Each structure stands twice: as structure tokens, then as C-alpha cells.
Amino acid sequence: MVLLSLVATHSDVDLETVARLSVGAPQVPSVVLADDKTVSGAVVLATCNRFEIYAEAPSEDDVEAARSAIVSTISEYSGISEQSVAASFRTHTGQDVAEHLFAVGAGLDSAVIGEREIAGQVRRALIEAQGSGAASGSLVRLFQAASKTAKDVGAQTALGSRGRSIVSVALDLGGDVSTDPDWSRKSVVLFGTGAYAGATVAALKERGCTDISVFSSSGRAEAFVASRGGTAVTAEDLPAAMQRADVVIGCSGSDARIDAADIERVRQGSTSSLVVIDLALSHDFDPAVGLLDYVELITLESVRAAAPEEQADALTQANDLVRDAARSFEEQQTIRAMNASIVALRQHTQAVLESEMARVRAQHGCTAAADEVEFALRRMVRQLLHVPTVRARELAAEGRQQDYEAALEALYGIDVPHAAAAGPASNEQATSKPKRSGPESAQCPVDHEPPAREA
């Protein structure tokens, strides 16, 4: 079992490319899992400034094939050539997978350092993958560890007390460029009903804004405002709301982009200036809107440029927490992988014991002599397995599980079944006895009533 991730973010590629890569993002995991056996699990994290795919491959030898399968699927949905798709992604394996995701979840890789929304997006990405059956056990543990790390960073560093986010920085910019910085006197029109729209309404309310009109081309505005506040507007009501608005915010990412001519038409007769904040990755507003004389356009690029730098000590502390958490996660993964070797050794030894006991039963039947022999042999097996089991875990902690597996194969001819690694079933296998066969397969009292004497 090997984890890998393909990462395309605002740090490496422009946001337009990120948006194009993200087309069809919800379908990528299920399609890859259905079409390719080198991918055994996948989770997609798609936000306003990143598109990342976390996957599990059966072994190191399958990593490149798994990456190629994911790239091919993204190319098919996005319409971008496979070569360009491959060039847009950085690939992580090993501890780097956990370290990157943990940093992302903690807001350390965001345009606004320490932002809050990304932690919720990481949780939702896992929930969606679990709902579709695409998340493997290792990926579930990875994303759960990322959420825990994000909480630790928020609780143990100064980043958690600052409360900055992409939305908050965008609204700060909006207030700075307005003729009146008082949000309580502003009329706002909001496009969208997703997570960012919800965060935007909350941030507007924190600033005292109460005049919030919400429009959704999907018809979900009524349900949205029922739980978050604001006023739902229909397509018929939208022009009038836009005409009197001081601020228009786009969070929908719909295909129906608003251009400069649309703004001019609905604003005809208005003498006030307008602030347009476009938080959609694929842009709700045509960039030409910013060329209008009375319009100030704020985009994700504007937010990234204006995001304040965090204090060096808080970032250092947060990065240390992330690295420690990633190292701990990788050690646990290694130990889980070693469990397969332990199970294989136990099953091998138990099989030898059962073979010997079958011979004893064939000669003596279910007698007290057989009872004594079995009890002695089982105690012997436990003693024999103790040191190899302890040593296996020590080697796992040192990252030398392959040495252990090679020794099992060289000494016993045991082929460790990696596909069974690290799940609850492995522990059950470790404690279960192989089924007996042959004429003595009927239940024998010595199997259920061991002698009551000291070991």
C-alpha cells in the first residue's frame, strides 16, 4: 500500500488552469477506480485555488501507473492534453503526502496563511469520497489526521486567533476601496449558495451588514437564506437588486459569466460606485468588468497579493506541528504495513502447529495425552512468536519493514500479502485458528477446554 498525491495550486499554476483542471473533479475518483486496478482509493480536494487528488496504489511499482491513470482521466474531462495535465501537477509520495495535506488543512499553503475555510473543505472532501465509496482505509486515516492537525495548529499557535480567511481579506479590500467603509450601510448582492457563500454571509454579518440579497441559478437561494439569513431574489428581481447594490460578490462558479455589458445595463441610472468581489475559481465576472469607470473589481489574485504576512514565530511553530504529525502518521502507516508480516508469520506457525496436532489426534484421538501435547505446543508457539513480533515493530519504527519481509521469505518462504495490510481484518486473522480438515475435523473438547494449570 502506497499513498500518492497530485497537486496543482495557486503557488505553481495560474488560477485559470486550476479551474480548467477541476472540470469533472467529482467524477474523477469513481472513474479511476472503475477503470484502473493500480488505484485502490482516491479523494479529490478542489477549492478556489487548488485541485489535488490523493490516491492509494497497491505498491511502489504501481505508483507511476496510478499517476498516469489519474492524469488520463483528468485530461478526458478537462479537454487538456495529457502532457499538459501531467506538467501542471506536482507528485508527492511517502511522508510528503501527509506533510502537504496537513499543511493545506492548517491553512499554511493558502493564499491567506492560516485561513479557516480550508479545514472544512478537507473534511467535506473526505465525506464525499466516503459517500461514493472511493476512500480507502488509509486515505480515511490520512484525512482524519489532517483534520486533527488543523485543530492542533489552530489551538496551539497564534494563527488560530487571527481568524483570517480569503473571504475576510476580500471584504477588507472591498471596504478599503469603497467610498463608505461602513458595511452596516451597504447593500450586497451575493451569487451562490455553496460553502464560500455561507462563509461570506457570516463574514458580512460580523461586519454589521444586514442588507444581503442572495441569487442562485440553481434555485437554492430560498433554502440557503432560511438557515443563514438574507433575502432570496429570483431572476426577475435580480436586476433591481443589482441596480441599488453597493457590493456584488460572486461565489457560484457557474457557467453563466456576467460581463461588462450586463453590469452597464442593470446599473443604468445609478450614480454610485460599485465594488465587485469575484471569489469563484472559474470567475463569475468577466475581467472586463474591472475596466468600467465606476467599478472596483477584486479577484482571488487581488486577495493573494494583499494577504498579510504572518509572524515568523507562529509559522515556525505551525510548520513544526505539521512535520511532527506527518512523521507520526507515516510511522503508524509503516507499523500497519508490518502487521501483514506479523499475520503471515503467525498463520505460518499456526499452520505448522495444526499439522502436528492432526498427526497426534490421528494416533491418539481426543485424549488427555493429546490435550497435554496441544497445550504445550501452543505455549511453545507463543514463546517463539514473541521476539519476532517485537522485532517486527522495532524494524517498522526504523523504516526497515522490507528487511523483515525479505527475511520471512528467505527463511520460511512466506510471501507477505500486502493487500491485506493494516485493516481491522488483519488483526482478526492474527488471532483466528486455521480450519482443520480430515477425519478429526469434528469438534474436540481440548480445543475449547484447555487444562486448568499454570503455563
Terminal C-alpha separation, the chain: 39
Cα–Cα distance measured from residue 365 to residue 371, given in angstroms and rounded to the nearest whole number: 10
Provide the 3-class DSSP secondary structure of residue 379: helix
Q: Is 194 annotated as a binding residue?
A: yes
- How far are the Cα atoms of 8, 185, 233, 266 from residue 210, in angstroms, in the given order? 37, 8, 15, 22
DSSP state of 153: H
Q: Is 197 annotated as a binding residue?
A: yes
Cα–Cα distance measured from residue 288 to residue 292, given in angstroms and rounded to the nearest whole number: 7
Going by C-alpha positions, the residue among 217, 249, 215, 207 that lies closest to residue 232 is 215
Give the bridge partners for 50, in sequence order.
9, 47
Q: Is 121 annotated as a binding residue?
A: yes
Cα–Cα distance measured from residue 337 to residue 32, given in angstroms and rounded to the nearest whole number: 24
Q: Is 49 annotated as a binding residue?
A: yes
Q: Is 372 annotated as a binding residue?
A: no
Q: Is 195 annotated as a binding residue?
A: yes
Q: Is 56 annotated as a binding residue?
A: no
Amino acid in position 451 = P
Cα–Cα distance measured from residue 424 to residue 431, given in angstroms and rounded to the nearest whole number: 12
Q: Is 50 annotated as a binding residue?
A: yes
- Measured in degrees and rounded to the nearest 5, phi and psi for residue 226 equal -60, -35
Per the CB < 8 A criterion, the answer to whether 378 and 353 are in contact is yes
Q: Is 116 annotated as a binding residue?
A: yes
Told to judge if 366 belongs to the known catalytic residues of this protein, a careful annotator would answer no
Q: Is 86 annotated as a binding residue?
A: no
Q: Is 48 annotated as a binding residue?
A: yes
Per the CB < 8 A criterion, the answer to whether 39 and 53 are in contact is no
3-state SS track over 391-413 = HHHHHHHCCCHHHHHHHHHHHHC
Q: Which of the following is catalytic: 48, 209, 251, 444?
A: 48
Going by C-alpha positions, the residue among 47, 279, 299, 314 that lies closest to residue 162 is 314
Cα–Cα distance measured from residue 78 to residue 422, given in angstroms and rounded to the nearest whole number: 35
Per the CB < 8 A criterion, the answer to whether 74 and 85 are in contact is yes
Q: Which residues are annotated as a binding site?
A: 47-50, 110, 115-117, 121, 192-197
Q: Which residues are annotated as a binding site for substrate?
A: 47-50, 110, 115-117, 121
Q: Which residues are annotated as a binding site for NADP(+)?
A: 192-197
The residues annotated as belonging to the active site are 48
